[in-house]
Structure 1
């Protein structure tokens, strides 16, 4: 299998229904397989099997890492809207609930 340039940001659904967000430089299929084999241990390895529910490829690893960090901060509802491709809901959930305090 030929490796694609750049990197992927991906989201897995774990066996307990929770989500995991990560990035992969050496191939998405390979990385998901490593999660399912428990290669790296940790939280995901104790909640196998995992299922890939969303992924996006980025040309630059720096862009992938920046989006991965952003996505990790999203609420469950916002992540699920992304999985569905419901960008209107993502936009709605992105609006501030409280205004900024005056400076």
Structure 2
């Protein structure tokens, strides 16, 4: 099984959300459609701007914790390194 660490944004340079899941397409869909109550729904955080795969849940959870503890600048640098235009990557994964 693959586990995913992902970052959603409200807009380029906007509010960020970091999460982990074993089904990236389903989970991002839930955020986009407002089916996931909480932070992302409250702040309109729906755009998938970054994701990475991991082989175990332990590794994915540790990576999520590490990223959450980084400064905002480091998080933005991570996003921009792979997605400089802050493009919504959902369509790429949902194909």
Q: Deviations over 1:31-87 (max 9, x none)?
A: 11101122231111122251001000001111000000111111111001111228x
Residue equivalent to 1:100: none
TM-score of the aligned structures, taking structure 2 as reference length:
0.76
Q: How many residues align?
A: 81
Instruction: Tell me, yes or no, if structure 1 residue 67 matches structure 2 residue 63.
Output: yes
Question: 2:44 and 2:15 mapped to 1: Cα distance?
Answer: 11
Larger Rg: 1
Considering only aligned residues, what root-mean-square deviation do their CA atoms show, in Å?
Answer: 1.8
Residues 67-86 of structure 1 aligned to structure 2 (within 5 Å): 67-85=63-81
Which of these residues, 28, 35, 41, is aligned with residue 32 of structure 1? 28
Question: 1:49 and 1:17 mapped to 2: Cα distance?
Answer: 9
Residue equivalent to 1:43: 39
For structure 1, the 5+ residue unaligned runs are 87-103
| Other structure's SS at 1:85 match | helix
Q: After the TM superposition, which of the residue ranges 12-21 and 32-41 deviates more from structure 2?
A: 12-21
For structure 2, the 5+ residue unaligned runs are 83-95
